[in-house]
Structure 1
Amino acid sequence: MSHHIQRAPSRPTRAHRADAEPLIVRHIAHEVSRQHGDATALCRGLGFSPADLERVDFRVSYAQTGRVIVRAQQLLGDPHLGLRLGTSFSLVSWGLCLVGMMASPTAREALDFALDFLPSTERFLRLQRDDAEGQLAATAEPMHDDDAEVSRFLVEHAFAALTRACRFVVGPWYGPKRVEFRADAPADPRGHEEAFGCPVLFGYRVDRLVFDPIDQPVATADALVARLCRHQLEQRAGAGAPSELEAVIVRALRADLRSPPTMAAIATSINVSERTLRRRLVDADLSYAGLLDQERMRRALGLLGASEAPMARVAAEAGFSDARSLRRAIKRWTGQTPSALRRHGD
Structure 2
Amino acid sequence: MDGSARYTTANFHTYLLRCITGMSKDFGIDPVRLCMGLGFEIEDLSSPDCLVSFRQAASLIRRALACTKDRERGLGLDIGTQETIGSIGLVGYAMLTSPTLGNAIDLGIKMQRHAGVLLQLERVDSGKYLTIRARSLFHEPDLQPFLVEESFGVFLNLVRTLAGDTFTPSFVELSYSKPSYSAHYDQVFKCPIRYDQSENIFACDAHWAEKRIATYDPLSHRQVLDFLQMNVAKQSMEDEFIESIERIVRRDLRQTPSLSAVATQLCMSDRTLRRRLADQGRSYQNVLDQLRMVHAVALLTNPRLTIDEVAYEVGFSDAHNFRRAFKRWTGHGPRKSQ
TM-score with structure 1 length normalisation? 0.61
SS of 1:179's equivalent?
strand
List aligned pairs for 1:160-239, cutoff 5 A: 160-214=153-207, 215-239=210-234
Alignment-mate amino acid for residue 61 of structure 1: S
Decide whether aligned partners of structure 1 residues 98 and 109 sit closer, same or farther in structure 2, where only a CA change above 3 A counts.
same
Confirm or deny: 8 A CA contact 2:16 2:116 kept in the other structure: no
Among residues 48, 52, 59, which one is paired with 1:60 in the alignment? 52
Q: Distance in 2 between matches of 1:123 and 1:37?
A: 23
List aligned pairs for 1:222-261, cutoff 5 A: 222-240=217-235
Confirm or deny: 8 A CA contact 2:109 2:123 kept in the other structure: yes
Confirm or deny: 8 A CA contact 1:32 1:76 kept in the other structure: no
1:227 Cα deviation from its structure 2 partner: 3.9
Measured on the aligned residues, the alpha-carbon RMSD in Å equals 2.3
Decide whether aligned partners of structure 1 residues 19 and 180 sit closer, same or farther in structure 2, where only a CA change above 3 A counts.
same
Q: Deviations over 1:191-228 (max 9, x none)?
A: 11211222222111111110111111111223443344
Alignment-mate amino acid for residue 200 of structure 2: D
SS of 1:153's equivalent?
helix
Instruction: Tell me the equivalent position of 1:288.
Output: none
Alignment-mate amino acid for residue 86 of structure 2: V
Instruction: Tell me the equivalent position of 1:73.
Output: 65
Alignment-mate amino acid for residue 16 of structure 1: T
1:100 aligns with 2:60: no
Q: Distance in 1 between matches of 2:229 and 2:194?
A: 34
Instruction: Tell me the equivalent position of 1:155.
Output: 148
- Number of residue equivalences: 232
1:165 Cα deviation from its structure 2 partner: 0.6
Among residues 38, 41, 44, which one is paired with 2:36 in the alignment? 44
Confirm or deny: 8 A CA contact 2:15 2:89 kept in the other structure: no
1:28 aligns with 2:20: yes
1:51 Cα deviation from its structure 2 partner: 3.0
Instruction: Tell me the equivalent position of 1:143.
Output: 137
Instruction: Tell me the equivalent position of 2:299.
Output: none
Q: Distance in 1 between matches of 2:233 and 2:174?
A: 30
1:234 Cα deviation from its structure 2 partner: 3.7
SS of 2:123's equivalent?
strand
Q: Distance in 2 between matches of 1:30 and 1:102?
A: 23
TM-score with structure 2 length normalisation? 0.62
Q: Distance in 2 between matches of 1:100 and 1:50?
A: 26
Confirm or deny: 8 A CA contact 2:29 2:64 kept in the other structure: no
Identical pairs, percent: 26
Confirm or deny: 8 A CA contact 1:110 1:166 kept in the other structure: no
Q: Distance in 2 between matches of 1:53 and 1:140?
A: 25
Confirm or deny: 8 A CA contact 1:105 1:222 kept in the other structure: yes
Decide whether aligned partners of structure 1 residues 142 and 229 sit closer, same or farther in structure 2, where only a CA change above 3 A counts.
farther
SS of 1:68's equivalent?
helix
Decide whether aligned partners of structure 1 residues 237 and 81 sit closer, same or farther in structure 2, where only a CA change above 3 A counts.
farther
1:120 Cα deviation from its structure 2 partner: 7.6
Q: Distance in 2 between matches of 1:140 and 1:93?
A: 19
Alignment-mate amino acid for residue 98 of structure 1: G
Confirm or deny: 8 A CA contact 2:91 2:111 kept in the other structure: yes
